[in-house]
Chains A and B, each alone.
Chain A
Amino acid sequence: SQQGEEDPQALSIQEGENATMNCSYKTSINNLQWYRQNSGRGLVHLILIRSNEREKHSGRLRVTLDTSKKSSSLLITASRAADTASYFCATASNTGNQFYFGTGTSLTVIP
């Protein structure tokens, strides 16, 4: 299966702390993306990192990609209560145009 797996499944932190989520996948990829899903809503695209990139930043988000280990991490710095959501990684194969989503990390930021 191309599906990624996020780790941990659930994470609870205090507001202001940093949150780190990891994603592992199995096959070669063209790019990897992170999405956020608030309860009862659709997924929102956060950031995309290409297979030839190692690190990318967007505001308080930092994504790393290690293709040799087939893993990625999402770091949210200075977390806020509004960051409470589930976070998913999605991978696209070199030959496919469709994305396969991981099982998600449920993040709770306590005010």
Chain B
Amino acid sequence: DAGVIQSPRHEVTEMGQEVTLRCKPISGHNSLFWYRQTMMRGLELLIYFNNNVPIDDSGMPEDRFSAKMPNASFSTLKIQPSEPRDSAVYFCASSKQTQGQPYGYTFGSGTRLTVV
């Protein structure tokens, strides 16, 4: 298995532009998580999906952020319009949840977003 795959690895965009980050979870994993990492705030959970359904999006900072998971093998995180303060590394992670069993996450390599 290639692990969790994120694209692009790096993204530089101008303020006001739309940005779309992509994630392919590990096959067979039924939970997917989007995190944002900055020096100031550390790792913040933005949203997570279970069986393609958004369960908790309370970490999404603003309406400019949206996430979708149209099927078990693909998810997107979209920022529209982007702002300089959105600059961060965005991580996608997946896991296989089984009832009563704790589990670990597998993280992707992240997308480093710079908004200028």
Which A residues have a C-beta under 8 Å from some C-beta of B?
Answer: 3, 30-31, 33, 35, 41-45, 48, 50, 88, 90, 92, 96-104
Can you give 30 A-B contacts (C-beta < 8 A)?
A: A30-B102, A31-B102, A33-B104, A35-B105, A42-B4, A42-B107, A42-B108, A42-B110, A43-B43, A43-B91, A43-B105, A44-B107, A45-B104, A48-B103, A90-B105, A97-B31, A97-B50, A97-B55, A97-B97, A98-B33, A98-B45, A98-B48, A98-B55, A98-B56, A99-B33, A99-B45, A99-B105, A101-B35, A101-B45, A102-B42
**Which residue of A is nearest B6, CB measured?**
A42
**Complex contact A45–B106 (CB within 8 A):** yes
Task: Taking A33-B104, A45-B106 as given, write out 17 further A-B residue pairs in contact, using a Cβ cutoff of 8 Å, ordered by the A residue number.
Answer: A42-B4, A42-B109, A43-B91, A43-B107, A48-B104, A50-B102, A90-B105, A92-B102, A97-B31, A97-B50, A97-B55, A97-B97, A98-B45, A98-B56, A99-B33, A101-B45, A102-B42
**Which residue of B is nearest A96, CB measured?**
B56
Q: Is the interface of B mostly helix, strand, loop or mixed?
A: strand
